[in-house]
């Protein structure tokens, strides 16, 4: 059997949800580990605004940590303020 025969049927997978209407209404944050710079693994913490799809903050660290997410949150609050 071909590998594509094992893929889930589009009717059974989780449906996509529409993006939020307003910027700042939902900010999604995650971290990704990769060898971004040579052979050393770094973690990129990033925040994406759901409505626009724009990156609103990012921070590199040796590990995925709460401090990394706090740094990204600090960038968001400094650059965009507290959402009203």
Residue 3 falls inside a structural domain: no
Per-residue pLDDT tens digits of the chain, which is 84 residues long: 555 566 666 667 778 889 999 999 999 999 999 999 999 999 999 999 999 999 999 999 999 999 999 999 999 999 999 877
Residue 8 falls inside a structural domain: no
Residue 7 falls inside a structural domain: no
Residue 9 falls inside a structural domain: no
Instruction: Determine the Cα angle at 14 with ends 12 and 16, to 5°.
Output: 125
Residue 10 falls inside a structural domain: no
**Is 49 exposed, middle or buried (CB count within 10 Å of its CB: 0-12, 13-18, 19+)?**
buried
Q: Which of 65, 63, 60, 62 is nearest to 46 (CA)?
A: 60
Distance CA 12, CA 29 (A): 26
Structural domain count, the chain: 1
Residue 57 falls inside a structural domain: yes
Residue 4 falls inside a structural domain: no
């Amino acid at each position: 059997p071909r590998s594509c025969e094992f893929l889930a049927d589009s009717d059974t997978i989780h449906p996509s949800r529409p993006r939020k209407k307003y910027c700042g209404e939902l900010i999604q944050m995650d971290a990704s580990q990769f060898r971004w710079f040579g052979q050393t693994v770094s973690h990129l913490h990033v925040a994406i605004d759901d409505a626009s799809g724009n990156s609103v903050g990012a921070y590199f660290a040796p590990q995925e940590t709460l401090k990394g997410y706090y740094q990204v949150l600090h960038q968001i609050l400094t650059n965009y303020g507290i959402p009203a």
